[in-house]
Structure formats: C-alpha cells, structure tokens
Structure 1
Amino acid sequence: MEYLEAKNKFIQAWGTLGSNWGINKVMAQIHALLLLATEPLSAEEIMEELQMSRGNVNMNLRALMDWGIVKKEFKIGERREYFSTGKDVWDLAKQVSKERRRREIEPILKMLGDVQVVNGENKKEVDEFKKVTGDLFDFSLKVDNTIDKFTKSDQNWFFKLLLKI
C-alpha cells in the first residue's frame, strides 16, 4: 500500500473511531492528520489536505485545544498560526480520559448525589429510587477513581495491573 493511501485510510479510520467514542468525526480526522504530520500544520494546510472549510477546521481545532490534545504554535516571521499534537499515545490516552472524566463522570456523580435527597409518599418507590441511584453512584465513583489512578499513573503500572486481570 502506498503512503498516501495508507495515510488516508488511517485518517478515515481515526475519524470513525473518534465518532464511536463520542468525538466529532471531523475533529478526530484533524487530530489524525496532526498525529501523522512531521511539522506543525497551519489551518490552511489542514483545510487543503482534508478538503474542509475554514470554519469547520477552525471550530474543530478550538475543540481539540479545549480537550488539551492540540496546541497552537507560532513560527518566527510567520503571521499564521500552526497546530500540533503530542505523539505519545500514553499521554494522549491519559489526557482524553481526564477530559472525559471532567465532562461526563463528574457531572453524573454530582447529579446522582443530588437526587439521593428525595422524598415521596410512596415509600417503596422512593426506596427503590434511592437503591438504584445509590448503586449507580457507587459504580460511577469506582469508575471515577479508576480513571483518576490511570491519569496519574505511569505506563508500567497500568500494564502490570492489566496482566493481573
């Protein structure tokens, strides 16, 4: 397989994978392109390479920066902004986990904690509600603790843990 074909296949596959993980497909495709780039790329270079509009590229670059996986760079003598991403897969996985924890797990923990203070006339329904939401809270808290340990861990610790499982 030729490089350009392999590159396009990877970018498309990364986009599909990203959308399966809850990340917009275009955002994942831009990230894939930056992963493969040997130098930081300008928004114009990304637009040309992926055949996307300026607005789409700029909006998704901002989203990637919000996730903490793309950074903006400047080159001396250039007015353009350039963008790059880290190449360390372990660091990427930890950053994505940290951000998903912040966006998904923390809000659900807060909500599940809030709804535990519930009253009602039907004691059976209230007890069942408290049991189900309490179990979900306990499970979510375990997931949160696992993600926290993962994001603070080093690669060796994690793989040793997986081998024990």
Structure 2
Amino acid sequence: MQYTEAKQNFIQAWGTLGSSWGINKAMAQIHALLLISGEPLAAEEVMEELKMSRGNVNMNLRALLDWGIVEKVSRIGERKEFFVADKDVWELARQVSKERRRREIEPIIKVLEQVQGVEGTSKEVKEFKAMTKDLQDFSYKVDSVLEKFTKSDKNWFYKLLMKL
C-alpha cells in the first residue's frame, strides 16, 4: 500500500471512529489529518487535502479547539493561523474522556438527581424512582471511573488493564 492510500484509509477510518466519540465525521477527519501531519497546517491546507468547504473546516477546527485536542500555533511572518494536534495518544484519550464526561455524564447525573424528587406513592412513581435511582448509581460509577482515568497516568492505567 502506498503512503497516499494509507493516509486516506486512516483519515476515513478515524472519521468513522469519531462518531463513536460523539463528534461528527468531518471533525474527526480533520483531527486525523492533523494527527499525522508533520507540520502545523493552515485551514486552507486542510480544505485542500480533505476537499471540504471553508465553513466546514473553520467550524470543525473551532470545535476541535473547544474539545482541547487541537491547538493554534503561530509562525513568524505569517498572518494565517496554523493548527496542530497533540501527538500523545494517552493525552488524547484522557482529553476525549474528560470532554465526554463533561458533555454527557454530568448532564444526565444532574437530571437523574432532579427527577428523584418526584412526588407520589403510586406503583408507577415507585418504579420510576427505582429505575432512575439505578441509572443514577450506575452513572455515578461511570463518572468516578472516568474521573480517575482523566487524572491518572499511563502506569496506573496499564497496571489496571493487566489485572483485568
């Protein structure tokens, strides 16, 4: 397989994987390109390489910046903004976990805490409270694991994996 084909296959696969993270395909493809680029890229270079519109690239670069997995860098004498992805896979996994926790787990925990205050003694209310309490307990455990993971170092995590 030639480099160009391998690069395209990786970008496409990473784009598909991105939907599992809760991000769109274009955002993940841009991230993939930045991950494998040896130099920071300008938005125009991303547009050209991935055949995407300026608006799509700019919107998704902002989103990647918000996720904390891409950074802006400057070049002396250049007016353009350049972008680079952190190449440390461990840091990427931690940052994605941290963001997913903030965007997904914390909001559902808040809702589950609120609905526990439902009033009534009917069978439906009791079943509702029991189910949402189970979901709340499970969510707390998931949140705790994600918090430990995002604050951990590689050695702790690898030791944990080895025990499993």
Give the drift of 1:123.
2.1
CA distance in 2: counterparts of 1:105 and 1:19, whole angstroms: 17
Task: Please state if 1:146 is matched with 2:145.
Answer: yes
Indicate yes or no: 2:82 matched with 1:105. Answer: no
Q: In the alignment, which residue of structure 2 is the partner of 1:89?
A: 89
Written as runs of structure 1 = structure 2, the 5 A alignment for 1:1-12 is 1-12=1-12
User: 1:126: how far off?
Assistant: 1.2
Give 1:21 deviation, angstroms: 2.7
Give runs of aligned pairs for residues 106-145 of structure 1, distance below 5 A. Answer: 106-120=106-120, 122-145=121-144
What is the match of residue 159 of structure 2? 160
Shift of 1:159: 1.2
List gaps (5 residues or longer) in structure 1: none
Deviating more after overlay: 133-142 vs 19-28:
19-28
Kindly state the Cα deviation for residue 50 of structure 1 after the two structures are TM-superposed. 0.5
Corresponding letter in the other structure for 1:52:
M
In structure 2, distance between residues paired with 1:118 and 1:149: 31
CA deviations on 1:59-111 (whole Å, 9 max, x unpaired) are 00000001000111111110000000100000000000000000000000000
Moved over 6 A (4+): none
- Return the TM-score normalized by structure 1: 0.97
The aligned amino acid for 1:143 is V
**Stretches of structure 2 lacking an aligned partner (at least 5 in a row):** none
Map of 1:71 onto structure 2: 71
What's the TM-score once normalised by structure 2's chain length? 0.98
Query: 2:20 and 2:138 mapped to 1: Cα distance?
Result: 23
2 CA distance for matches of 1:88 and 1:39?
15
Q: Percent identity?
A: 72
| C-alpha RMSD of the superposition | 0.8
**Structure 1 residue identity aligned to 2:119:** N
The CA distance in 1 between the partners of 2:144 and 2:4, in whole Å, is 42
Deviation of 1:20 (Å): 2.9
* Residue identity in the other structure for 1:119: E
CA distance in 2, matches of 1:144, 1:79: 42
